[in-house]
Amino acid sequence: MVNIIIGLILGTIRQAAPLLITAIGGIFCEITGVVNIGLEGMMLMGAFSGAVGAYYTGSAWFGLIFAMFSGGLLASIHALLSVKYKGNQVVSGVAINLFAGGFTVFMLKVLFSQAGNSPIAVRFPTLFKESVFEMSGIVFIIYGLAIGAHFFLYKTVTGLRMRAVGEHPLAADTVGINVEKIRYFGVIMSGVLAGIGGAYLSIGALSQFTKGMSSGRGFIALAAMIFGKWTPFGAVGASLLFGFATALQGILQQHVTSIPPQFIQMIPYLLTLLALAGVVGKAVAPSASGVAYDKNDE
């Protein structure tokens, strides 16, 4: 029983990590006033690029750079459509998700002549190896980045400007803040951080990319962002909650055979729906979230 409890705690920490860093990315984006439904696609692209980069370079760190770059590249497309051309932010995000799903499968066939998964790649170093506390090193990086994100958003001038742009872009523009530039930064950072979340999946938790391996985690990360009320520390708590549900699912599948596994696999998604049902209406998004800004229209 003790081993099960320890396994559940450590599993919660591991399962929360990719949700957390992706949720932080969503905060960076939405706190500046841009909705990013495309986090799922950016996460998936990060997972693919991380595995490919690690496979060809023989270094998980280069794989991480590949993942961050690919996530940031997709995010820059979303920024271009949403900020510069003031397109529908939800439609842009959905298009990115669809593109990432198809592109990764296509590139698997091109690079490796198979559509299901990539070859085995180098993964991040494991700490406390061959013990019950075994943990990928990237997990510690992710939680460190979450702490850093809090101080960046609430203790720096840039963070203050980001929050100002998300709450009242006209007022921010009036005092000389470049609204477009700040929003570009927030959106691109969301892709970079989602790419790290994807890299955790492919070269942190595993050693290869598999088709559709994000498995809706980008959307759960969005839920964690909302449940955490658009704050980094709030996202930590929400991600741990959803991570607990995923870890519990894994343990139940191992020890409970009387319940069909399909019902057990539903636990993280049901918890996401219940959490959002309880928090929606209470959590208040940044005032300008989802609203394109054009000072000529004011």
CA distance 282 to 196: 30
CA angle 102-123-237, nearest 5°? Answer: 80
Q: What is the pLDDT of residue 120?
A: 95
- Quick check: 280 and 226 in contact, CB under 8 A? yes
pTM recorded for the entire structure: 0.93
Looking at the domain 2-121+133-285, which fold is it? ABC transporter involved in vitamin B12 uptake, BtuC (1.10.3470)
Q: How far is CA 30 from CA 23, 92, 255, in A?
A: 10, 14, 40
- The answer for residues whose C-beta is within 8 angstroms of residue 57's C-beta and 6 or more apart is 63
Digit-coded pLDDT (tens) for 67-115? 999 999 999 999 999 999 999 999 999 999 999 999 999 999 999 998 8
- Domain ranges for the chain: 2-121+133-285
Structure tokens at 117: 């998964």
Structure tokens at 162: 């980001």
What is the percent of the chain with per-residue pLDDT over 70, rounded to a whole number?
Answer: 95
Q: How far is CA 173 from CA 21, 165, 197, in A?
A: 29, 8, 33
CA distance 207 to 124: 9
Digit-coded pLDDT (tens) for 48-57? 999 999 999 9
Digit-coded pLDDT (tens) for 223-258? 999 989 999 999 999 999 999 988 888 888 776 766
Q: What is the pLDDT of residue 282?
A: 65
